[in-house]
Amino acid sequence: MFDLVLLACAAFLAGLVDAVVGGGGLIQIPAIFAVFPKEVPATLIGTNKLASICGTSVAAVKYARRVPVAWGTAAPAAAAAFALAFVGAWTVTRVPADFVRSLLPLVLVAVAVYTFKKKDFGSVHAPVHSGMTERLLAMGVGAAIGFYDGFFGPGTGSFLIFMFVRFFGFDFLGASVAAKIVNVACNFSALIWFGYSGHLIWKLAAVMAVFQVMGSLIGTRLALKHGSGFVRKLFLIVVSLLIVKTAYDSFKHLGW
């Protein structure tokens, strides 16, 4: 019973954080791995995906009702992410993610330093691409992040937000709504493979999904109320925590 309460609380906090800046996996994935240390990793990742997609879908709908969605960017990115997330999910059931694990802290440090140094980063929504250029770049971003999300996952939402701000000129709020749409596509695609291959604990995922949605509703309300400045600050906090967590995991895995 205690384990279930722990996972429910983790899912609630993950939904709240993920709705604002992504990175909910920073909370939910360690919790589920801690409770089920002997379970097959792919099964735990699949269970996490089912809970996450519920919270992310609710957040996407809530954002879309209040913030204009850049469908010219979000739709191609989501389509590419859907295709490559399935490939990533298939890959993780066959290949260890050691290389990605070791590189992740370095990538996150670069993201944090860039965001911190540019004080006006993501403060103004001024899209810089249109037409075919926009669609092709969006598909590239979606493909890369989609594969990563299906294969490994931590920080996917945060990476998406950063890329939409850095490469498309979105503000943090506009980037967040686009990221949610792409993230739903990633999760759904990966979930198809995890479900088909039996890598899911359905009852546990259902309980966690309920609490993910509750957290997501609160997180979305906070982001819409306080705007891009609030999202940027929380983004930096979450990325910093991701750096510490992923660095620790990498060193631990290497036996340091």
- pLDDT tens for 178-221 read 999 999 999 899 888 888 888 889 999 999 999 999 999 999 99
Count the helices and strands in the chain (H runs, E runs).
9, 0
Q: How far apart are CA 168 and CA 176, in angstroms?
A: 13
pLDDT at 57: 94
What's the whole-number mean pLDDT along residues 1-28? Answer: 86
What's the whole-number mean pLDDT along residues 5-16? Answer: 92
DSSP string, 159-226: HHHHHHHHHH---HHHHHHHHHHHHHHHHHHHHHHHHHTT---HHHHHHHHHHHHHHHHHHHHHHHHH
pLDDT at residue 122 is higher than 70: no
pLDDT at residue 126 is higher than 90: no
> Which tens digits make up the pLDDT trace of 53-65?
999 999 999 998 9
Helix axis angle for 202-254 and 41-66, nearest 10°, is: 110
Listed residue (22, 15, 13, 7) closest to 175, CA to CA: 22
Question: Tokens 């400045």 appear where?
Answer: 229
Tally Cβ neighbours within 10 Å of residue 2. 7
> Which tens digits make up the pLDDT trace of 229-246?
888 888 888 888 878 877
pLDDT at residue 12 is higher than 90: yes
Reduced DSSP (H G I as helix, E B as strand, rest coil) percent helix, strand, coil of the chain, to 5: 80, 0, 20
